[in-house]
């Protein structure tokens, strides 16, 4: 289908923006061919709006109700639980956790003075061919994973758009 | 909106035990469900079976209706899945009838069937004939859009498609419908000559 028809269907359905609408309005005035397509589509649209329902048989409702009466009565799955019960249970657990935590602090012998450990890096030893190869390998692997996820996303998007 | 409120009120009453109220819901939606079923089944007997089956399934699952969407949208989802299951069971040929050969067969079968009354055919009959020549999905989208008072999002929900896909399919369905109508009307002119 050409894009002119798509534009015009959006216009007829009222799905285009104010700017698009103004553009189409202007085109309809100056372009007789464009207007002819519009009138063609509008005629189809008017026909479709007059579409009527099909009528089922007169015994349709009775037949359905006969079948329905043989079924078990439907029951709402949504059970009503008083929120206060949920809050009470949540409060109990929070109070218990806080109590245990406070008790553990009280009975423990905590010393907050802390000395940072000293780490000696020997960069010459760490940077060697093996670590460089490992680093490059991990980078390549991550790049491939990223590329794979990027391509998959594109494919899923295309599928979602349809055809 | 008023009707939707009433639908919800009826569902609440049914779930509370007033099961006879389900007949009101059936009466209210039966014409549309049957019309939608006709888009898939192509004959009244099968469409009636699909529509009845759909209402029975909806009754069984009424307790799971979340009431976050319209009852009609939920019901059309059931209709669509029921119709698809029915088609699979019946092993009907749901392949595209887009090619001219098929169009010719269908158009001819219509004219052969009632050649003497071609002149009496109304626009409505031609429109229905053209819709019957579309793919079931296309016919269902057109019906839902024009008669079901469903937005593109709601149609997407009912047919399990993205709204954008529904929009594209709706455009294409109308384009195909226009072609079928042109073909049928051309056929009518020939008959009249």
What pLDDT does A90 receive? 93
Residue B72 lies in a domain: yes
**Cβ contact (<8 Å) for A53 and B35?**
yes
Domain boundary among B31, B65, B90: B90
Q: How many domains does the structure of chain B reveal?
A: 2
Instruction: Choose the final residue of a domain: B61, B90, B119.
Output: B90
Q: What is the CATH number of the domain that holds B22?
A: 1.10.1740.10
Instruction: Let me know whether B117 and B37 are in one domain.
Output: no
Boundary-marking domain end, from B67, B90, B113: B90
Q: Do B48 and A53 make contact, defined as CB atoms within 8 angstroms?
A: no
- B116/B143 same-domain check: yes
Give yes or no: residues B37 and B118 share one domain: no
- Given this model, what pLDDT does residue B111 score? 40
Is the pLDDT score of A96 beyond 70? yes
pLDDT, tens only, A123-146: 777 778 888 888 999 999 999 999
- pLDDT tens, position by position, B110-169: 444 444 444 445 667 778 888 888 888 888 888 888 887 788 888 888 888 888 888 888
pLDDT attached to residue B135: 86
Full-model pTM? 0.61
pLDDT at residue B102 in the model: 44
Distance from A81 to chain B by nearest Cα, in Å?
17
Q: Is B143 exposed, middle or buried (0-12, 13-18, 19+ CB in 10 A)?
A: buried
| Triad A70, B83, B101: Cα angle to 5° | 150
Contact criterion met (CB < 8 Å) for B55 and A55? no
What are the C-alpha distances in Å from B134 to residues A6, B54, B164?
19, 23, 20
The Cα of B86 is separated from the nearest Cα of chain A by a number of Å equal to: 17
Percentage of chain A exceeding pLDDT 90: 21
Residues B111, B118: contact at Cβ < 8 Å? yes
The answer to whether residues B104 and B61 belong to one domain is: no
Cβ–Cβ contact A74 with B under 8 A: yes
Interface contact B171-A1, CB threshold 8 A: yes
Taking a C-beta distance cutoff of 8 angstroms, is the pair B185, B126 a contact? yes
The reply to whether B104 and B187 lie within a common domain is yes
> By the CB < 8 Å criterion, does A34 face chain B?
no
Q: Please indicate, yes or no, if residue B95 is contained in any of the structural domains.
A: no
- Per the domain annotation, does B127 fall within a domain? yes
Residues spanned by the domain of B44:
2-90
Tell me if B19 and A6 make a contact (CB, 8 A cut-off).
no
Cross-chain Cβ contact B19/A69 below 8 Å: yes
- Which domain CATH number covers B153? 1.10.10.10
B63 belongs to a structural domain? yes
Q: Is residue B15 part of a domain?
A: yes
Q: Which residue among B22, B168, B178 places its CB closest to the CB of A68?
A: B22
Which of the two residues, A34 and A122, has the higher pLDDT score? A34
Q: Does one domain contain both B79 and B104?
A: no
- On whether both B86 and B127 belong to a single domain, the answer is no
Segment A7-31 shows an average pLDDT of 88
Both B106 and B150 in one domain: the answer is yes
Task: Compare CB distances from A71 to B35, B56, B124 and report the shortest one's residue.
Answer: B56
User: What confidence score (pLDDT) does residue A95 get?
Assistant: 93
* pLDDT of B125: 77
ipTM: 0.71
């Amino acid at each position: 289908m050409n894009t002119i028809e798509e534009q015009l269907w959006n216009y007829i359905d009222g799905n285009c923006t104010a700017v698009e609408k103004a553009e189409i309005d202007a085109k309809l005035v100056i372009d007789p061919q464009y207007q002819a397509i519009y009138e063609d589509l509008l005629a189809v649209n008017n026909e479709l709006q007059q579409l009527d329902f099909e009528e089922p048989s007169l015994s349709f409702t009775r037949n359905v109700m006969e079948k329905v009466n043989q079924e078990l009565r439907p029951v709402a799955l949504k059970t009503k639980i008083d929120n206060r019960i949920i809050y009470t249970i949540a409060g109990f657990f929070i109070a218990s956790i806080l109590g245990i935590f406070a008790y553990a602090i009280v009975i423990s012998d905590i010393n907050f003075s802390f000395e940072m450990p000293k780490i000696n890096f020997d960069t010459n030893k760490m940077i060697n061919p093996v670590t460089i190869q490992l680093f490059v390998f991990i980078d390549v692997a991550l790049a491939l994973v990223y590329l794979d996820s990027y391509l998959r996303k594109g494919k899923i998007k295309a599928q979602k758009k349809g055809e | 909106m008023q009707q939707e409120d009433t639908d919800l009120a009826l569902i609440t009453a049914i779930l509370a035990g007033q099961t006879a109220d389900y007949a009101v819901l059936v009466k209210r939606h039966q014409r549309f469900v049957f019309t939608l079923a006709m888009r898939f089944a192509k004959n009244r007997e099968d469409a009636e079976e699909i529509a009845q089956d759909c209402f029975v399934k909806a009754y069984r699952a009424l307790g799971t209706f979340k009431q976050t969407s319209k009852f009609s949208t939920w019901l059309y989802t059931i209709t669509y899945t029921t119709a698809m299951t029915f088609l699979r069971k019946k092993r009907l040929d749901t392949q595209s009838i887009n090619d001219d050969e098929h169009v010719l067969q269908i158009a001819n079968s219509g004219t052969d069937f009632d050649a003497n009354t071609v002149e009496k055919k109304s626009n409505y009959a031609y429109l229905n004939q053209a819709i019957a020549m579309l793919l079931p999905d296309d016919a269902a989208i057109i019906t839902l859009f024009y008669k079901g008072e469903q937005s593109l999002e709601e149609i997407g929900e009912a047919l399990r498609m993205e709204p954008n896909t529904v929009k594209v399919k709706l455009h294409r369905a109308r384009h195909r419908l226009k072609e079928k109508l042109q073909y049928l009307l051309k056929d009518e002119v020939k008959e009249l000559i």
